[in-house]
Amino acid sequence: MKPVIVDAARTPFGKREGWLSGVHAAELLGYAQKGVLDRVGVDPDAVDQVIGGCVTPLGEQFGNVVRTSWMHAGLPLKAGCTTIDAQCGTAQQSVQLIAGQIAIGAVEVGVACGVELMSRAPLTYKVGTGLGTPRPESWSLDTVDQYTAADRIAVKRGFSREDLDAFGLRSQQRAAAAWEAGRFDSHIIDVVAPGSDVPVHRDQGLRESSLEGLAKLRTVQEGGLHTAGTSSQVSDGASAALLMSEDRAKALGVRPRAKILAQCVIGGDTEFMLDGPVDAANIVLGRTGLTIDDIDLFEVNEAFASVPMSFAKVHGVDPELLNVNGGAIALGHPAGATGIRLLANVIDELERRDKSIALIAICASAATTGLILERI
């Protein structure tokens, strides 16, 4: 069966200890799960499987948070629910997994989703009490942290601190312009936070920025290149996408919005870790026979400024086609939810521009995701 993307949407993204920090993760993800079905008018009983997850499945996000959210939102118990941790590519990989399930005929209707309440479950290294550490004592691989990796990529590609700051400013300016023009309104699911009767509709991470102000920020690492102004933000948010087989969508009278032409998941090397989108693009382009010039829009997650900058430099991408509405530096990066934000944004933007093809990639060390989709 041919899988199609019927819709993709998300909650607003709140900043650390911000508007959404008082919402339980299961409640926030439930907003997204139920919201994407309500937007299309599809009966929840039609859903066969739900796959989603988060990067820090501890505390309030522990257990099968996808199932907990689904049940708490009052959705049908018969749907199978699976929670994954695929690092920053979690939500996008959930889409890819649902698409694969549809392609082999295992399900006809599926929901992909993701959530991260980073205010309540910080994205930090976790060690269980009395349960040892994740790596055995004999571990010998030299693996770097993400901050070192981002700086290494910048040095490798010849990006200066000033270059990175300029990209950080670009992200803020583009995101602010996109919100001002209402370009995100169509894929936002409003959330009512505890203690308030006013729904949250807007992302909270946008900041007034200037090159002079960015230049004054201290680097994340001593002697490094990236700062808080050129790194993704600690955020709270959730997202969801509805996928179906082409035949089932037709039977239900639902108009699909896009289809996946190729997808991949790859690991990153241990020296640069976050540069995986460069190789992921080569794979999905090779599988489709397309070239960079055939792609109308590019979304490469702004984990750090050097990641999309490296992608653009290696592949010769027109900067006017890359992250056209800003990215995680300005909008935030609730790690488990970001993948579907990118999809929702790029599908909306393809429709707005009357264009067809987009490439989306998210660096995630061990699980970098890449896909090419076509607007229907």
Which residues are catalytic, by number?
A: 88, 333, 363
Alpha carbons 369 and 86: distance in angstroms, whole number: 9
Tokens of 85: 């941790």
Q: For the CA atoms of the chain, what is the radius of gyration?
A: 19
Alpha carbons 234 and 245: distance in angstroms, whole number: 35
Tokens of 19: 């508007």
Sign of the Cα torsion 163, 204, 368, 298 reads negative
The answer to whether the beta carbons of residues 376 and 4 sit under 8 Å apart is: yes
Phi, psi at residue 358, to the nearest 5°?
A: -135, 150
Cα angle value 250/255/258 (rounded, 5°):
110
Determine whether 160 is exposed, middle or buried from the number of CB atoms within 10 Å of its CB (0-12, 13-18, 19+).
exposed
Would you give the distance in Å from CA 368 to the centre of its chain? Answer: 11
Q: Alpha helix (H) ranges present in the chain?
A: 25-40, 65-72, 90-103, 146-157, 161-180, 211-215, 246-252, 276-288, 306-315, 328-331, 338-353
DSSP run (H or E) holding 6 = strand 3-10
The answer to whether the beta carbons of residues 184 and 345 sit under 8 Å apart is: yes
